[in-house]
């Protein structure tokens, strides 16, 4: 755990560079607006979120988990189970919790105001997995903090989950297309690019589907899985229709203020998805 930051940073940079290289060599879709300003804006949002976390996050999740372990505090410690099972169950439970967090951010109007910053991107690639409003990042941190504290999640499980979550976000947002022979069986286990692009569709019924970030099982279990959009993956319309103008996505100041602007939309309605 002493080298937590090195592990997280190493996997993060490795996955980001790998996906960027893959996108450059074999992009799945044409970027309609140009990646230079999109990359700048998305990366600046990530830096803004990191700075806010530095200022307001009282303790790292791994550090909290270590304190819990020392005190044997949390729900898991009420049961006699081996350490490896505790780690496995913790990672699975946290992944499911992020699924429901994501779904609630679509359902609850106040939370959608924050999350729409992510969906306003008119094209998605590996940097879109970093594009979240700083307040959403902070709120997500406190949700995970509460879960880690109450469950007694082991420090190793927290570290593994955070690494997997960050890598998955970059992977499934990347502008690549896996061969059908690989993609179809793979999406039974993890969220693929084609599966997640449906979630970024301009159609409300498709936006409100495929909420998973890592494991795809939660969408199937909780009835939010959408196998294919009305349009093909190559023709899918990405983004939010009310934020398609370049000036609405190029400026950091605009995106930071976006949750506080009054814009009518219906994309938060959690409608059932046809399977």
Instruction: Return the higher-pLDDT residue of 269 and 42.
Output: 42
Return left, alpha or beta for 2; rule: phi > 0 is left, psi -120 to 50 is alpha, else beta.
alpha
Confidence label for 36 from pLDDT (cuts 50, 70 and 90): confident
Q: Which pTM does this prediction carry?
A: 0.90
Assigned token pair, 16: 């980001």
Q: Calculate the CA 261 to chain-centre distance.
A: 23
The pLDDT tens digits of the residues spanning 117-152 come to 999 998 999 999 999 999 999 999 999 999 999 999
Neighbours of 6 (CB within 10 A): 9
Any idea where the domains of the chain sit in the sequence? 34-260
Give the chain's radius of gyration (CA, Å). Answer: 19
Whole-number percent of the chain with pLDDT over 70: 94
C-alpha to C-alpha distance for 86 and 101, rounded to whole angstroms: 22
What are 63-76's pLDDT values in tens digits? 999 999 898 999 99
- Give the CA dihedral 62, 48, 167, 63, nearest 10 degrees: 0
Query: Percent of the chain beyond pLDDT 90?
Result: 76
Residues 6+ apart with CB under 8 A from 33: 122, 123, 246, 249
**Over 50: is that where the pLDDT of 274 sits?**
no
Q: Which residues have CB under 8 Å from 57's CB, separation 6+? A: 138, 141
Model pLDDT, residue 266:
46
């Amino acid at each position: 755990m002493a080298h937590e930051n090195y592990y997280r940073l190493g996997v993060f940079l490795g996955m980001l560079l790998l996906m960027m290289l893959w996108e450059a060599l074999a992009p799945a879709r044409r970027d309609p607006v140009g990646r230079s300003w999109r990359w700048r804006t998305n990366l600046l949002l990530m830096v803004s979120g990191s700075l806010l976390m530095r200022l307001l996050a009282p303790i790292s999740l791994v550090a909290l988990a270590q304190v819990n372990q020392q005190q044997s505090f949390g729900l898991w410690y009420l049961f006699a189970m081996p350490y490896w099972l505790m780690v496995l169950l913790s990672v699975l439970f946290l992944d499911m919790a992020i699924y429901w967090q994501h779904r609630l951010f679509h359902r609850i109007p106040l939370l959608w105001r924050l999350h729409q910053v992510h969906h306003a991107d008119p094209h998605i690639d590996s940097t879109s997995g970093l594009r979240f409003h700083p307040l959403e990042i902070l709120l997500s941190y406190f949700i995970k903090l509460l879960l880690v504290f109450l469950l007694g999640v082991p420090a190793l499980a927290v570290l593994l989950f955070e690494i997997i979550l960050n890598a998955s976000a970059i992977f499934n947002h990347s502008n690549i297309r896996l061969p059908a022979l690989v993609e179809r069986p793979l999406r039974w286990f993890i969220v693929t690019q084609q599966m997640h692009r449906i979630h970024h569709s301009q159609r409300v019924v498709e936006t409100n589907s495929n909420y998973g970030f890592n494991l795809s099982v939660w969408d199937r279990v909780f009835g939010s899985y959408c196998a294919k959009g009305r349009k093909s993956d190559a023709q899918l319309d990405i983004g939010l229709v009310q934020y398609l103008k370049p000036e609405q996505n190029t400026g950091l100041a605009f995106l930071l203020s976006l949750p506080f602007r009054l814009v009518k939309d219906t994309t938060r309605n959690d409608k059932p998805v046809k399977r």
